[in-house]
Structure 1
Amino acid sequence: MNQRYRPITRLGLGGTGLGDMYHTTTDEDAKATVDAAWEAGIRYFDTAPHYGAGLSEHRFGQALRRRARADYTLSTKVGRRLVPHLPGEITAPFVGALPFKRVLDYSGAGVRRALEDSLQRLALGHVDIAYVHDLSPDALGDTFEHHFAIAAGPSGAFQEMVKMREEGLIKGWGLGVNTIEPCLRALQLSDPDIFLLAGRYTLMETTPLASLFPLCASRGAHVVLGGPFNSGFLAGGAHYDYMPASPAQIEHRERLRQVAARHGVDLPAAALQFGMAHPVVAATIPGASSASHLKRNATLMEIEIPVAFWEALVAEGLVPQEAPLPGRKPVV
């Protein structure tokens, strides 16, 4: 695959926790989390202006400032500009914010301004990857087609991202979304390098297998998996895709737990390792708001899981036959 940006470590650190998602995190805990990630060998960090209205970016900038820039890969996102607003716009699922509010802007000028502002918060001269954030029906509702037309238009985000890549402000770009359809359209209309896809390729759902992953493979694009626990659900939480889990989702998780128990497998470990078996997947980035969470994720990634467990998931219809699995060759 043609990779313009720095290689990504297979386990990354997602920045939602550093943006006070669900609960408040102190600056000290945020720094300790990034330090713990570094000690665990993690060199890929992802953030966004949306996370705490700049709070996550600010904390990453502080924590990474003493690290050599050539030693890590960092991604952030565009599509929301932050404008001054006191005391700060707090919007679910975030419970904290810097003194800004978010303004959607998928124009070329808007994404360039958003990136330049991010570089200021991060105290960096470039980012490795920039994702067009939440350009997706689940985030934008009835306004999605309007915003997508702006982004894909002659003076829109896609064209500007290509220009910024040529200028060296970014090394690669794509979309950061929760659905596959915008990714497919972006591949058809432009030249993205990588996608951050949250929650769609997990032990709960494998929709990208049918169309997105094959197209990425043919175009030389990669995918980073966000939300490998589906908002903490596969790690025992009550939320699925940031909403209370449905009875059907709870039942599916219980079936996974039963198979895991029979094989002596830690289900969160399986959830974290599952997606990495697919050849287009470059990394997975579970969020972590504390050093202890981070260290647990790093440990889960290295736990050895018997092939019999994966085979049982296929036999019981919990994952499709064609899904590449750790220790098992894909069926062709």
Structure 2
Amino acid sequence: MVSRRSFIKAGAALGLTSAVSSTALADKLKVKASSGEVMPTRGLYNSHEMLPVNRPGDSKRYRPLSRMGLGGLAAGNGFNTISPDEEILSMLHAAWDSGIRYFDTSPFYGLSLSERRFGDLLRNKSRDDYVLSSKVGRLLTPSSEPLEKKWHWANHSPFHYKYDYTASGTRRSVEDTLHRIGVSSLDIVYIHDLSPQNSDMGEDWVKYYDEAVKGAMPELSKMRDEGIIKAWGFGINTPEVVYKSLEDSDPDIFLLALQYSLLDHEVALQKTFPMIERRDMSVVVGAPLNGGYLAGRDRFNYDSTIPEKMKQKYAAISNIAYKYGIDMKTAALQFAEAPEVVSAIIPGARTAEQIHENVAAMKVKVPNDFWSELKSEGLIVQAAPVPNA
């Protein structure tokens, strides 16, 4: 693992830092990062630059102030056991100290583990100083028996869950989350995993959607009107519910995971984003690194099977990035944050070092010619918004 202390310093008087390490130069960033390691950030960046924010008043609907957030899947032992808890707490403190002020979690992540770990940081902060979102749709119950289906979670909390998108289940879920995190309120609540991609539901996702139309959706609108929350929407991995919900309800924001990235963005740009933008709603981009693939992991969208097309596209973009003195992760994070309809991106992290690299990536000056070459080579669509445009 490359330590940030090994980075070459340049242009100190201007606050510019070169994020190219000698190791990265030697292997041209082609070594895949193993769990907990990082893809070194390449390129000149201004270490004093603030992370991007949304300007108040740009939208009538609520948007988180911070455009750079933190996803909580890893804090729920997603794919790997993180022990002791101090490693996650160190990561969370690094996020806070780096200027990240939007935190997203879920009861499902580690079956309460992520929420409780986030609470170790956030319950000691002023509630007005950060944005917090969590999710509804599963109610947790204690159990001494392990889950039959393990999902992504390594050594998760001893809970079972049941799907519940009713009004009463939704309000109870929010109250349970507040107790687990140890805070007084949530800013955003997402209705979670109503999607045909959710193999746990199968075709029943339509039944649960209909339950949410009568229960969770009006209840969250009521909670918004009461001032209990500031916004609500859907946290989903496929866009079908976006299209349906715009006819049936009045959400504010969509957490779209695995739907907008440097490698895969056509459907979102051509169909999903325009539908959302016309209604002054916004998008939080989840998994902007395709579940870690664009940061060097040997998995794509939380799956160990990597499509050959994605491998080829990765290699082509990586070679162009190296030519311009930057890295894939930097290009991917800045690409995902660029559209106006996007109100935040929430890459995950397991370690403080990963936080430092992600934050540095947002401050790198990416040459305009890099984006032009990607478009000329057909590696991103011509209409894709890019930074510095």
TM-score, normalised via structure 1 length: 0.94
Letter in 2 for 1:78: V
Alignment of 1:85 onto 2:143: yes
Say yes or no: does 1:22 pair with 2:88. no
- Paired position in structure 1 for 2:323: 262
Q: CA deviation at 1:3?
A: 2.7
Query: Structure 1 residues 47 and 88 mapped into 2: Cα distance closer, same or farther (>3 Å)?
Result: farther
- Once the two structures are TM-superposed, the CA of residue 184 in structure 1 deviates from its matched residue by 2.1
Question: Of 68, 73, 78, which residue of structure 1 is paired with 2:126?
Answer: 68
In the other structure, the counterpart of 1:311 is 372
In the TM superposition, residue 248 of structure 1 has moved relative to its aligned partner by 2.0
Deviation at 1:308, TM superposition (A): 0.5
Question: Which of residues 336, 349, 367 in structure 2 aligns to 1:288?
Answer: 349
Identity among equivalent positions (%) equals: 42
* Correspondence for 1:101: 160
C-alpha contact 1:19 1:96 (8 A) present in aligned 2? no
Q: Which amino acid in structure 1 is aligned with residue 293 of structure 2?
A: F
| Match in the other structure for 1:9 | 66
Deviation at 1:35, TM superposition (A): 0.8
Deviation at 1:232, TM superposition (A): 0.4
AA paired with 1:225?
V
Q: Secondary structure at the match of 1:287?
A: coil
Give the match's secondary structure for 1:249. helix
Helix, strand or coil at the partner of 2:317: helix
Aligned counterpart, 1:132: 191
Task: Please show how residues 194-233 of structure 1 align to structure 2 within 5 Å.
Answer: 194-206=253-265, 207-233=267-293
SS of residue matched to 1:61: helix
Task: Label 1:88 to 1:292 Cα distance change in 2 as closer, same or farther (>3 A).
Answer: farther
Give the CA deviation at 1:275.
1.5
2:273 partner amino acid: F
In structure 1, the residue corresponding to 2:187 is in which secondary structure?
strand
Distance 2:255 2:65 in 1: 13
Q: Kindly state the Cα deviation for residue 112 of structure 1 after the two structures are TM-superposed.
A: 1.4
Q: Is the 8 A contact 1:126 1:168 kept in 2?
A: no
- 1:87 CA drift (Å): 5.4
* Pairing of 1:155-234 with structure 2 (within 5 A): 156-206=215-265, 207-234=267-294
Q: Secondary structure at the match of 2:132?
A: strand
Give 1:250's aligned amino acid: K
**For 1:307 and 1:4, how far apart are their aligned partners in 2?**
31
How much does 1:4 deviate? 3.5
Distance 1:237 1:274 in 2: 19
For residues 90 and 176 of structure 2, what CA distance do their matches in structure 1 show? 25
Tell me the amino acid that sits aligned with residue 152 of structure 1: V
Amino acid at match of 2:107: P
* Aligned-CA RMSD value: 1.3
Q: Conserved in 2, the CA contact under 8 Å of 1:198 and 1:227?
A: yes
Asked if 1:238 corresponds to 2:298, the answer is: yes
Contact 1:310 1:325 in 2 (8 A): yes
CA contact (8 A) 1:131 1:173 kept: yes
Output the CA distance in 2 between the equivalents of 1:214 and 1:246: 27
Q: Secondary structure at the match of 1:138?
A: coil
Q: CA deviation at 1:228?
A: 0.6
Write the distance in 1 (CA, Å) between the matches of 2:202 and 2:301: 16
Deviation at 1:55, TM superposition (A): 0.3
Determine the C-alpha separation between the residues in 2 that align with 1:138 and 1:303. 35
* Number of residue equivalences: 325
Task: Pick the structure with greater CA Rg.
Answer: 2
Is 2:95 the partner of 1:37? yes
Tell me if structure 1 keeps the 8 A contact 2:185–2:229.
yes
Give per-residue Cα distances to partners, 1:176-229, cap 9 Å, x unaligned. 011112112212211111111112110111121112211222111111101011
Checking the alignment, whether the CA contact within 8 Å between 2:133 and 2:189 is kept in structure 1 is yes
Quote the offset at 1:78 in angstroms: 0.4
Would you say the 8 A contact 2:122–2:183 is kept in 1? no
Distance in 2 of aligned mates of 1:181 and 1:238: 28
